[in-house]
Chain A
């Protein structure tokens, strides 16, 4: 038999040969075909999550380097390294090895500072990313679970930060642990024993650094990596949200393909984040433990501050008025510790649950892939502003002493002012934000109906001056009119003729959300508007 299909060996490039080799052993072609040319919507605000991811990669890389030199032991030694002022001082091995990383290992200080700066950026970028998600409604169906995963990551990142901050066993971090010890002891029933178990006996003991080290480099990073992976899988499954724009519909995703443009931009952006962190680490000192000295339970300096992301918790402790502690049933109830913890806990749970609350109020079961402009969801945006104000008040309280000394105020005055900010501020922020959003929506309507100010002043025959308004083109107009509003829920009896409490609550919430609303301009309105002379 002579068939023509003899497959003469063709000249193949190395890339093609390598691809075939790999694919025939991994079946990766399907994966590449699936993902390689996916459209990835593009916007500057989408970079915040990338900053968080890339900062985390930098944390992993720099942290791995540090583990080769850091020794998580609290055994006492007399320091004998290069930093002269501390020579001979008794300190833990952890502190001494951190000093060695800083003063005896070339480039060690650089990596240590990059690790710390990257950790600060990691938490900050997560926070900003969450604000972006919240204010654009990108947590709506189908992304509610990814919001929860992201929230868990935020908390894990703070835990990573705190455990890492505590490792060098310097004066500041030891004081931070003293505060944690005091807070844990304030828990009813279990507090005393939890502290006893955590510290392996009495505070400070000789175990805590080793235990935090296990959490910091093993357990917590494993969780963070797992949740980041899950978070990204969901981004692929859901496809990214996009802002409203001409051609963009709830049913499509528009953007440059992953290969090559998105990959090049994101890959390049990773190096930019890495590079900026390297620049900061080479120019700005962070956590100079050699100035603080080793941990000692007796001294402390004024104006001490935790890392920024712990500030809100520390501030919450400061804002409690005197006397919130009672002995009842022969037991001590430390409400001066419990109230801040409960308040922060409630705040976190409300933020975590917000997507589900909003979905329940709206009853909207559709998928949402177009990100809202914040002004087009005034109540949500106002709630977010209230939350930000609450957090900011707590956060500022962590610096109450510095605020007092820098601005020559009384300590008591600053605390009382911040108590007002935390309790009344959210209401003020809510009201102002909602009004501003509605005003901006009205301005959008005005522009759609009457065009934008062209800057061209015309004198009419009667001597009157007018500024000519130019109508928007259809693409610009689409950005301003393509949003949806919701109306308050009408209360109707159910099939058994009853109005349940749940329905009443939902109707009340719905009224609160949507009573004041501005609808987008419709075609009819625009046509009617054209009839007017202006």
Chain B
């Protein structure tokens, strides 16, 4: 059959003769006795090819779909005007979204289904055959391309003048480095992240305050079994970096029966009458450990399910975290408010390379 790569011809006859490929078949088994390609099966006309009534109907369907699309577009524009949402009412937003959306949907699906139906039922149902050629092109073309490079090499002396070539390669490798260095400016020059990560806003005497109101907490307000989300007093009044400080200083305050507390000997005076304060920032990757199970005294990080045992100085009992949550040493001031004895004694939050 006549075949033209650029404009396929209609399938007329079988083509089972394909030139054997020159490339190595590797370990492929080439069967000697394989079946031959039977060639194209006879063309089967569609109902729309044979029945003029069906053809008419298909035509009607297609233009109806296109007209419906216009209706959809007009509907969407009308919905934009007919469904305002300036009333501070969420229900109106929903209606606006729904009706603009449905109009747009009809506009788009009308065109889509119309075009596909047109193609499938009315356009000529022909399959063309393109011949494939080796992707690498003809040997002549390949040879010509090789020659281009050889000529270029010879004329420029790229291989011959090795000193020039190597110095150029060196220059090309080095020239982007200043651009890389410029990106140091992404972070402030005068700060050291290790220093920053090692300290929080807590210091000796800082009152423990409620998150988010900032009201200081009296020890007497912390009833047995309760848990409080805590920030340092004064955090809410910060002009800058409020979230940065909160991301390190967030604390969970819990009161357990002192009998249930298994305190480390060196931390005996870090709690007050069963009240303990721990960093809320997970030692895994830094999510807030926000879920407290009162009867087991377990803390759960909702991100990756690390569990910490509050009665056992917040050691890890399950999940990917390794280190216990850092404990904030607390005491009570003269007015009965809970205060920090100092900053955390170790960096809070996720591990980092320089931490030790």
Contacts and interface: CB of A to CB of B under 8 A. Distances in A.
Contacts of A147: none
A178 B8 contact: no
A72 interface: no
Contacts of B354: 192, 331-332
Contact of A272 (B116, B306, B318): B116
B207 interface: no
Nearest to B307: A411
Contacts of B188: 200-201
B93 A103 contact: yes
Contact of B130 (A39, A102, A478, A521): A39
Contacts of B124: 261
B15 to A, nearest CB: 7
A482 interface: yes
A239 B35 contact: no
Interface residues of A, number: 140
A247 B11 contact: yes
Contact of B286 (A181, A261, A295, A485): A181
Nearest to B288: A300
Contact of B85 (A106, A267, A510): A106
B37 interface: yes
B57 to A, nearest CB: 19
Q: Name the residue in B16, B21, B93 with the highest tally of chain A Cβ atoms < 10 Å from its Cβ.
A: B93
Contacts of A295: 243
Given A249-B15, A523-B34, A322 B316 contact: yes
A186 B350 contact: yes
Contacts of B355: 332
Contacts of A363: 24, 26-27
A444 B219 CA distance: 78
Interface in B120-149: 120, 123-132, 134-135
Nearest to A182: B285
A190 B117 CA distance: 57
B100 A107 contact: yes
Contact of A297 (B21, B87, B194, B247): B247
A107 B96 contact: yes
Q: Name the residue in B27, B80, B186, B250 with the highest tally of chain A Cβ atoms < 10 Å from its Cβ.
A: B27
Nearest to B316: A322
Interface in A247-263: 247-257, 260-261
Contacts of A188: 353
Contact of A367 (B23, B123, B250): B23
A279 interface: yes
Contacts of A269: 112, 116
Contact of A251 (B7, B19, B109, B356): B19
- At the interface, is chain B mostly helix, strand, loop or mixed? loop
Nearest to A400: B305
A401 B307 CA distance: 13
Given A197-B187, A282-B102, A192 B193 contact: yes
A299 interface: yes
A106 B127 contact: no
Given A185-B352, A486-B26, A486-B27, A202 B247 contact: yes
Interface stretch (B157-165, B262-270, B320-328): B320-328
A478 B35 contact: yes
A266 to B, nearest CB: 9
Nearest to A410: B318
Interface stretch (A4-12, A30-38, A493-501): A30-38
A367 B134 contact: yes
B123 A260 contact: yes
B74 interface: no
Interface in B267-282: 280-282
A109 B93 contact: yes
Q: Name the residue in A181, A247, A514 with the highest tally of chain B Cβ atoms < 10 Å from its Cβ.
A: A247
A256 B18 contact: no
A191 B352 contact: yes
B35 A271 contact: no
Interface stretch (A125-133, A301-309, A381-389, A430-438): A301-309
A468 to B, nearest CB: 23
Interface in B8-31: 8, 11, 14-16, 18-19, 21, 23-31
A522 interface: yes
A271 B109 contact: yes
Given A186-B352, A366-B23, A175 B303 contact: yes
8 contacts: A37-B6, A107-B96, A110-B101, A203-B286, A247-B41, A256-B128, A275-B109, A297-B243
Interface of A: 33-34, 36-39, 82-84, 102-104, 106-107, 109-110, 113, 142, 175, 178-179, 181-183, 185-193, 195-205, 207, 211, 237-239, 246-257, 260-261, 264-265, 267-276, 278-279, 281-283, 295-304, 314, 317-325, 327, 330-332, 334, 336-337, 362-367, 369, 400-401, 411-412, 415, 474-475, 477-478, 481-482, 484-489, 510, 514, 519-525
Closest 8 CB pairs between A and B?
A: A282-B101, A182-B285, A268-B115, A363-B26, A271-B112, A275-B108, A247-B40, A325-B322
Given A110-B96, A246-B37, A475-B41, 4 more contacts: A246-B39, A264-B116, A278-B101, A297-B281
